[in-house]
Chains A and B, each alone.
Chain A
Amino acid sequence: MNWDSILFWVMIALWVTMPAFIAYEEIKERRALAETLKEEA
């Protein structure tokens, strides 16, 4: 089995998933904050 190519794609998946998850959380929190502000207004 070619472990190098498997691990390479695992690495790419980690590398893509991690920032994507962080960006998703950040956008979710900013949107929730914006909604709170709108309700207040």
Chain B
Amino acid sequence: MIDIIGLLVGEISGTSRLIVDIAIYFGLFVIVAMALNFQYGNAGVPNMGCAVQVITGGFTVSAITTRVTFMIVKAAGVELLPFASDFDWVYNNQYNVSVLTNSFLKTHMLLSISLLLFSLGVALVLGAAIGYIISLPAIRLRSTYLMITLITMADASQIIGRNIPALCGGTLGIFVPNVFAWYPGDRGVLLAVVTLFIGIIAFFIFKTMLNSPYGRLMRAIRENDITVGSVGKNVVGIRRNILMFASGITALSGVMVAFYYSYVVDNAFQRADWTYWPWLMLILGGPGNNAGTFLGTALIIGLRRGIIVYKWYLEQYLFFPIAYAESIILGVLLILVIIFRPRGLIPEKLLYIPGINYRKMVKEETTIDWREAKKVEPKTNRFKFWGKKERSESE
């Protein structure tokens, strides 16, 4: 409390630092969890490859934004060390970024903001492209096989990143330009505000989509894709679109992760962190509604950051090594939720749209006897001589 009050005079440390940290992680994970809710909770696409999409955002910053920044800074007259070959790219990177580029960006606010927006835009497009690519072999599969394929792709993306130095410097990683260098204070607070703001925009986009006819179509696919396919809807195409759209939004989270760490390495985008924890958030909160997703994300992030920060205090009460505390506690939580509240803390409600009584429509009984049904006379258009019907009758 004293720390928070102390913040009024402008210092971020202690508890207020923890609050900022939790806010950043909440913003990052709520984007991923909402995208997952959009895919799995509403459309029934079990995306176990969220890490692929997040890593796409990270690679966008390390491979594209960093190069573009170097080119701009070089064109502005700053003597950068060579960065064309893989060797120079990795070994000269720290000096180029930390010493030369960041000091240039410190005095160029508009350029820094443009680079941030550029990264977000490119990540959105590349994320959607990756979503399309991963949907090609996987989307026609049943959900279990789809999950396995996407998990494999998440691992494959990490292996690709580790073995292609041009992407993120291989095993050594790459420092990325600090696009918040122009900010005179603590950049963590600014980053938290930007991340939460992106989260809010993502929330409104998902909310609008879910309340639209397309959202109802998604739910119909989740409930029974065969029925939806039988009335002429392209189920595979719709699933692909959902995967592409959600992938694009998830990649935004990867961009913010890269800027938060100021460093990109494939190990920062592990499957456990960026696939399993978002799934736990979704299952805990309750799939199919945004309130549940938010609650689940807030609980898990609070718990995780709390465990990490107060490990030294918890250690004396535990009978197992403290290093495993986070995984054990969250794993037990997952099991308890699945046993006692399988629909999550906030279960999904019936879709409500003002003016439409869906409950009545769902409950309506169809007691039509076809033998007693009136014969419906086909409407004939006497002026339409070239119609299909007339032709078939004449035949």
* Contact code string A11-30 (vs B, CB < 8 Å = 1, else 0): 11011001100110110011
Q: A12 vs B291: C-alpha distance in the bound complex, in angstroms?
A: 18
The 8 Å CB contact of A40, one of B16, B290, B295, B359, is B359
> When the two chains form their complex, are residues A2 and B193 in contact, meaning their CB atoms are under 8 A apart?
no
Instruction: Specify the main secondary structure of chain B where it touches its partner.
Output: helix
A9 to chain B minimum Cβ distance, whole angstroms, is 8
A11 touches B189 (CB 8 A): yes
Contact across chains for A26 and B291 when beta carbons are under 8 A apart: yes
A37 and B346 CA atoms in complex are apart in Å by: 20
A12: which B residues are within 8 A, CB to CB?
A: 19
List B24-76 residues whose CB lies under 8 Å from chain A: 26
Q: How far does the alpha carbon of A5 sit from the alpha carbon of B346 in the complex, in Å? A: 34
Q: In the assembled complex, how far is the CB of residue B355 from the closest CB belonging to chain A, in whole angstroms?
A: 10
Q: Given that A10-B193, A14-B193, A32-B352 are contacting pairs, would A26 and B16 also be in contact in the complex, using a CB cutoff of 8 Å?
A: no
Closest-CB distance, A5 to chain B (whole angstroms): 5
Given contacts A2-B9, A3-B184, whether A40 and B360 have CB atoms under 8 Å apart is: yes
A contact face: mostly helix, strand, loop, or mixed: helix
B349 within 8 A of partner (CB): yes
Q: For B11, list chain A residues within 8 Å (CB).
A: 4
B294 touches A4 (CB 8 A): no
On chain A, the number of residues with a Cβ less than 8 Å from chain B's Cβ atoms is: 24
Known contacts being A2-B10, A11-B20, is A33 close to B359, with CB within 8 Å?
Answer: yes
CB-CB < 8 A to A15: which residues of B? 23, 26, 196
Distance between A6 CB and nearest chain B CB, rounded to angstroms: 9
**A11-B192 contact given A18-B199, A22-B203, A26-B346, CB 8 Å threshold:** yes
Are A4 and B192 in contact, CB atoms less than 8 angstroms apart? no
Residue from B190, B289, B294, B357 within 8 A of A18 (CB atoms): B294
Q: Is B183 an interface residue (CB 8 A)?
A: yes
Q: Is the CB of B294 within 8 A of A19?
A: yes
Residues of A within 8 A of B183 (CB): 3
Q: A10 — which chain B residues lie within 8 A by C-beta?
A: 193
Are A8 and B294 in touch, CB under 8 angstroms? Answer: no
Chain A residues contacting B203 (CB-CB under 8 Å) are: 18, 22
Measured CA separation A18–B23 after assembly (Å): 12
CB distance from B256 to the nearest CB of A (A): 14
Q: B196 touching A14 by the CB < 8 A rule?
A: yes
Are A11 and B196 in contact (CB-based, < 8 A)? Answer: yes
Q: How far is the CA of A39 from the CA of B208 in the complex (A)?
A: 28
Q: B338 at interface (Cβ–Cβ under 8 A)? A: no
Complex: A30 Cα to B290 Cα, angstroms: 13
Q: Bound complex: CA of A5 vs CA of B8, how far in Å?
A: 6
On chain B, the residues within 8 Å of A5 by CB distance are: 7-10
**Shortest beta-carbon distance from B263 to chain A in Å:** 23
Q: B8: nearest residue on chain A (CB-CB)? A: A5
A-contact 0/1 string along B356-370, CB 8 Å cutoff:
010110010000000
List 8 additional A-B contacts (Cβ < 8 Å) besides A26-B346, A32-B352, A40-B359: A4-B11, A5-B7, A8-B12, A11-B196, A14-B193, A14-B196, A18-B199, A40-B360
B contact residues vs A (CB 8 Å cutoff):
7-12, 16, 19-20, 23, 26, 183-186, 189-190, 192-193, 196-197, 199-200, 203, 289-291, 294-295, 298, 346, 349-350, 352, 354, 357, 359-360, 363
21 contacts between A and B (CB under 8 A): A2-B9, A3-B183, A3-B185, A4-B7, A5-B10, A7-B193, A8-B7, A8-B12, A8-B16, A8-B20, A12-B19, A14-B196, A15-B26, A18-B199, A18-B200, A19-B294, A22-B203, A26-B289, A33-B350, A33-B359, A40-B359
